[in-house]
Amino acid sequence: MTRAPGRGGGDARLEVVRAGALTTVQDLGRPGYAHLGVPRSGALDAPAHALANRLLGNPADAATLETTLDGVALRALAPVTVAVTGAPCAVRAAGRPAAWSAPVRLAAGAVLEVGPALGGVRSYVAVRGGFAVPPVLGSRSTDLLSGLGPPVLTTGTALPVGAPAGPVVGADVLPLPAPPAELVLPVLLGPRHDWFTRASVAALGGARYRVSSAGNRIGLRTGGGPPLVRARGGELPSEGMVLGAVQVPPDGLPVVFLADHPVTGGYPVLGVVAAAALHRAAQARPGTPVRFVTTG
């Protein structure tokens, strides 16, 4: 990514000083390629990604950085304006406290420090003009499953910045939902809920699970709740998977597929969580209680 061509943004770049545990470039993903085995990918908390871009006058599909739990630090190699949204965190610019969820101006040489998440999991860093890494199949998103898109950020990486698309607008009132104390996920049953006993499916709505630390951008794993009981043995041939699919592996504990999910799978899908509800899953920390509300 060093010295990669931008979109007319000149020499504006941000250098990674501290990469964090897992920081990736994300936009709205690359839908429409599942038939080629390519997941959608894209920002897990799409509203937070969109808000960061809105604050800077960027289009919604401009690329941002998605951090995981412990933030990131970036040095401006030319003057830029940035914004941090998503999981609440301390923000510092050139060593001084700076605003969260508001435009922040960085002079050349200044370091933006995005601290650990104080709640939730993922923060989003936008820059006016967007991160102009080369697109792959129409998207700048890092896909951890397929390996498409730019690599996970490492110290020393220089990220090119694109040309501004609109004025920095800011906002007086912002939609800033708190990270969930309890993750409630509406599930439309099917297509394979008949692979589980009626009693097990009926009890799902009253069951309490917890977010497992084994989850990632591919899927949110659950633990601590009652395993779903199969009504039949054997396995399915691999079939198509969609965003939000609730797949149940042999241990009986539901897995909710997120942006980097595989496009096929052989374990039965109990139901599907609507995409509009998945941003809450992106901010649910390990240990957060999970409740499924079934419909259909």
Encoding tokens for residue 97?
A: 């406290």
- Domains contained in the chain, CATH given: 13-160 (no CATH), 183-295 (2.40.100.10)
For the segment 267-287, the average pLDDT, to the nearest whole number, is: 96
C-beta separation of 72 from 20 below 8 A: yes
For the segment 272-293, the average pLDDT, to the nearest whole number, is: 96
Mean of the per-residue pLDDT values of the chain: 93
Phi-psi region of 86 (alpha: psi -120 to 50; beta: other; left: phi over 0): left
For the segment 241-248, the average pLDDT, to the nearest whole number, is: 97
Encoding tokens for residue 60?
A: 């919604």
Residue holding tokens 């599930």? 187
C-beta separation of 27 from 139 below 8 A: yes
- Burial state string for 116-143 with b = 16 or more CB within 10 A and e = fewer than 16: ebeebbbbbbbbbbbbbbeebbebbbbb
> What end-to-end distance do the CA atoms of the chain give, in Å?
46
Residue holding tokens 């250098």? 15
Report d(CA 93, CA 88) in Å as an integer: 16
Residue 2 pLDDT more than 70? Answer: no
> Would you say how long the chain is, in residues?
296
Residue 1 pLDDT more than 60? Answer: no
C-beta separation of 124 from 56 below 8 A: no
Question: Tens digits of per-residue pLDDT, 122-175?
Answer: 999 999 999 999 999 999 999 999 999 999 999 999 999 999 988 887 666 666
pTM above 0.85, yes or no: yes
DSSP code for 133? P
Of residues 212 and 172, which shows the higher confidence score? 212
Residue 13 pLDDT more than 90? Answer: yes
Encoding tokens for residue 155?
A: 């110290």
Residue 211 pLDDT more than 70? Answer: yes
pLDDT band at residue 11 using 50, 70 and 90 as cut-offs: confident
C-beta separation of 38 from 261 below 8 A: no
Residue 10 pLDDT more than 80? Answer: no
Quote the pLDDT of residue 5.
35
Report d(CA 176, CA 276) in Å as an integer: 15
